[in-house]
A and B are shown apart, each in its own frame.
Chain A
Amino acid sequence: MNTRRLDYGPLYTVFGLLAALAAWEVIGRSGVWGESFPALSAIAGAYDTTIRRELLGRALARTATSAGLGLLIGALASLLLVSVGHLLKSLHEGIDSFATTIHAIPTIAFGPVLILVAGPESTPVVLSALAAYFPILVALDSGLKFAPRAPHDLAAVLGATTLRAFVRIHFPAAIPAFVDGLRMAAPGAVIGAALGEWFGAPRGLGVLIISSLQNVRIPQLWAAALLCVACSLSAYTVLSLVHRWAHRRYVW
Chain B
Amino acid sequence: MVNLSNMLVSAARRWWWIVVLLLAWDLYVRVKGFNVIVLPDPWTVARAMAADWPTLLEKLLLTLRAAVLGLVAGTVLGTLGAILAWSSRILSGIVTPLAMLVRSVPFIVFIPILSRFMGYNTMMEIFVVTMFSFFPTFVLVSSGLAGMPQAASDLCLVYGATRWRKLILIALPAAMPQLFASMRITASFAVLAAMVAEFLTGIDGLGRLFLLARGDLEAERAMAASIVAAACSLILFNLAKFAETAVNRRMS
Known: A116-B219, A198-B199. A94 touches B109 (CB 8 A): no
Partner of B112, one of A98, A200, A210: A210
Contacts of A36 in B (CB 8 A): 113, 116-117
Q: Which candidate, A69-77, A152-160, A161-169, A227-235, is the interface stretch facing chain B?
A: A227-235
Q: Is B229 an interface residue (CB 8 A)?
A: yes
Q: Could you tell me the distance between the alpha carbons of A105 and B18 in the complex, rounded to whole angstroms? A: 14
Contacts of B196 in A (CB 8 A): 108, 195, 198
Partner of B109, one of A107, A112, A225: A225
Cβ B90 vs Cβ A12 within 8 A: yes
Cβ B109 vs Cβ A205 within 8 A: yes
Scoring A residues 90 to 111 as 1 if CB is less than 8 Å from chain B, else 0, what string do you get? 1001110110010111111111
Q: Is A150 an interface residue (CB 8 A)?
A: no
Q: Which candidate, B9-17, B50-58, B74-82, B242-250, is the interface stretch facing chain A?
A: B9-17
Q: Is A126 an interface residue (CB 8 A)?
A: no
Cβ B226 vs Cβ A225 within 8 A: no
Contacts of A97 in B (CB 8 A): 14-15, 17
Q: Is B7 an interface residue (CB 8 A)?
A: no
Known: A12-B94, A108-B207. A233 touches B104 (CB 8 A): yes
Q: Is A20 an interface residue (CB 8 A)?
A: yes
Q: Is B210 an interface residue (CB 8 A)?
A: yes
Contacts of B16 in A (CB 8 A): 94
Cβ B223 vs Cβ A228 within 8 A: no
Q: How many inter-chain residue pairs (CB < 8 Å) link A and B?
A: 150
Q: Is A31 an interface residue (CB 8 A)?
A: no
Cβ B104 vs Cβ A186 within 8 A: yes
Q: Is A221 an interface residue (CB 8 A)?
A: yes
Q: Is B172 an interface residue (CB 8 A)?
A: no
Partner of A209, one of B101, B112, B223, B230: B112
Closest to A104 in B: B237
Cβ B39 vs Cβ A221 within 8 A: no
Cβ B199 vs Cβ A33 within 8 A: no
Cβ < 8 Å to A, chain B residues 105-160: 105-110, 112-113, 115-117
How far does the Cβ of B61 sit from chain A's closest Cβ, in whole Å?
16
Q: Could you tell me the distance between the alpha carbons of A30 and B109 in the complex, rounded to whole angstroms? A: 25
Q: Is B171 an interface residue (CB 8 A)?
A: no
Cβ A112 vs Cβ B113 within 8 A: no
Cβ A106 vs Cβ B13 within 8 A: no
Known: A16-B94, A93-B13, A104-B233. A198 touches B200 (CB 8 A): yes
Q: Is B191 an interface residue (CB 8 A)?
A: yes
Contacts of A190 in B (CB 8 A): 106, 109
Cβ < 8 Å to A, chain B residues 46-85: none
How far does the Cβ of A89 sit from chain B's closest Cβ, in whole Å?
11
Partner of B230, one of A17, A33, A106: A106
Q: Is A206 an interface residue (CB 8 A)?
A: yes
Cβ A110 vs Cβ B234 within 8 A: no
Q: Is A37 an interface residue (CB 8 A)?
A: yes
Q: Is B98 an interface residue (CB 8 A)?
A: yes
Known: A93-B13, A112-B210. A233 touches B98 (CB 8 A): no
Closest to B63 in A: A106
Scoring B residues 223 to 243 as 1 if CB is less than 8 Å from chain A, else 0, what string do you get? 101110110011001100000
Cβ B229 vs Cβ A105 within 8 A: yes
Contacts of A107 in B (CB 8 A): 192
Contacts of B182 in A (CB 8 A): none
Closest to A90 in B: B13
Closest to A236 in B: B104
Contacts of A200 in B (CB 8 A): 214
Among B97, B104, B229, B230: residue with most chain A CB under 10 A: B104
Q: Is B183 an interface residue (CB 8 A)?
A: no
Cβ B213 vs Cβ A33 within 8 A: no
Q: Could you tell me the distance between the alpha carbons of A11 and B200 in the complex, rounded to whole angstroms? A: 40
Scoring A residues 26 to 37 as 1 if CB is less than 8 Å from chain B, else 0, what string do you get? 000000011011
Scoring B residues 4 to 48 as 1 if CB is less than 8 Å from chain A, else 0, what string do you get? 000000000111110000000000100000000011000000000
Closest to B221 in A: A112
Known: A187-B106, A228-B109. 11 other contacts (CB 8 A): A13-B93, A17-B98, A94-B13, A94-B16, A104-B188, A104-B238, A105-B229, A106-B195, A112-B214, A195-B196, A229-B109
